Amino acid sequence: MTLQELVRPKLLSFDVFGTLVDWRTGLLDALKQYGVSVGEQDFDRIIGYQAELERGPFRTYTEVTVESLVRVAKLDRTTAETIAETLGFWPLFPDSSAALDRLRRCPVRLVAITNSDRKHGDQVQQQLGFRLDAWFCAEELGVYKPDLAVWRSVAERLGIVPSREWWHVSAYADYDLEAARRFGLTLVLVRRSHRCETAADLVVSDLNELADVVEHLFCAQEER
């Protein structure tokens, strides 16, 4: 899809862990602090086990993280709980804060849709230095992405009908973009180093490139 074919957004929603937050670096560094050295495959195993847990009876993401670290990384429960409590302080991608700040200056709502807990959202927004217009987490919704109930609940809470004016931004097809496609949203794939690709309406290398596109669309509209 060309820039000319994109519908100007009224809502931008963002995946958080893996798109705004570098969860791979954050988790691997956290494990190293406790003497556990893991690689890319180990990270994928941990995340894969978390996905299994998220499909079962609901538990908070703190609980999911603890269980995955105990079972897969073989941490003791106390250490796993320490890591899980503060994962919202894992490092942001270098472009996240500045790009979101640019997008805040456009007449568009910014919201997060994240498989995490309320406290993690507070931690991430503390790092950003500002709060988004809304923050929807699994703990609040009682369900995890990619369940379609997540998207229905967000739309209901925002009082909107899903459309192309709602852009969803993520590095992951499996958790986000394929579900968003079912609702007719505009799909934005961010090519983070750890990602799951799919066909998207817009593919960007980072969030600064997304901000460039959105600013161009609003400026172009104003000039007409």
Express each pLDDT in 177-219 by its tens digit. 999 999 999 999 999 999 999 999 999 999 999 999 999 988 6
**Residue 18 shares a structural domain with residue 28:** no
Single residue among 88, 116, 140 that ends a domain in this structure: 88
Stated pTM of the model: 0.94
Single residue among 43, 61, 88 that ends a domain in this structure: 88
Joined together, the tokens standing for residue 168 give: 């969803």
Single residue among 34, 61, 88 that ends a domain in this structure: 88
Give me the pLDDT at residue 220, please.
54
Find the mean pLDDT for residues 66-85.
96
Q: Using pLDDT thresholds of 50, 70 and 90, give the confidence band for residue 40.
A: confident
SS3 of the chain: CCHHHCCCCCEEEECCECCCECHHHHHHHHHHHCCCCCCHHHHHHHHHHHHHHHCCCCCCHHHHHHHHHHHCCCCCHHHHHHHHHCHHHCCECCCHHHHHHHHHCCCCEEEEEECCCHHHHHHHHHHHCCCCCEEEEHHHHCCCCCCHHHHHHHHHHHCCCCCCCEEEEECEHHHHHHHHHHCCCEEEEECCCCCECCCCCEEECCHHHHHHHHHHHHHHHHHC
Find the mean pLDDT for residues 77-99.
98
**Residue 125 shares a structural domain with residue 65:** no
**Residue 129 shares a structural domain with residue 52:** no
**Residue 70 shares a structural domain with residue 103:** no
Give me the pLDDT at residue 224, please.
39
* Residues spanned by the domain of 57: 23-88
**Residue 15 shares a structural domain with residue 32:** no
**Residue 143 shares a structural domain with residue 42:** no
Looking at the structure of the chain, the number of domains it has is: 2
CA end-to-end span of the chain: 21
Only one residue has tokens 């180093």, namely: 193
Instruction: Output the domain CATH number for residue 202.
Output: 3.40.50.1000
Give me the pLDDT at residue 223, please.
40
Taking the C-alpha atoms of residue 16 and residue 4, their distance in angstroms, rounded to an integer, is: 28
**Residue 69 shares a structural domain with residue 143:** no
**Residue 162 shares a structural domain with residue 52:** no
Taking the C-alpha atoms of residue 2 and residue 201, their distance in angstroms, rounded to an integer, is: 8
**Residue 174 shares a structural domain with residue 189:** yes
**Residue 127 shares a structural domain with residue 38:** no
What tens digit of pLDDT does each residue of 1-31 get? 677 789 999 999 999 999 999 999 999 999 9
pLDDT surpassing 80 at residue 222: no
Give the residue with greater pLDDT, 36 vs 151.
151
Taking the C-alpha atoms of residue 67 and residue 190, their distance in angstroms, rounded to an integer, is: 29
**Residue 60 shares a structural domain with residue 167:** no
Q: What is the CA radius of gyration of the chain?
A: 17
Give me the pLDDT at residue 141, please.
98
Percent of the chain, pLDDT > 70? 97
Count of C-beta atoms within a 10 Å radius of residue 213: 16
Do 22 and 90 meet the contact criterion of CB atoms below 8 Å apart?
yes
Give me the pLDDT at residue 27, please.
95
**Residue 179 shares a structural domain with residue 212:** yes
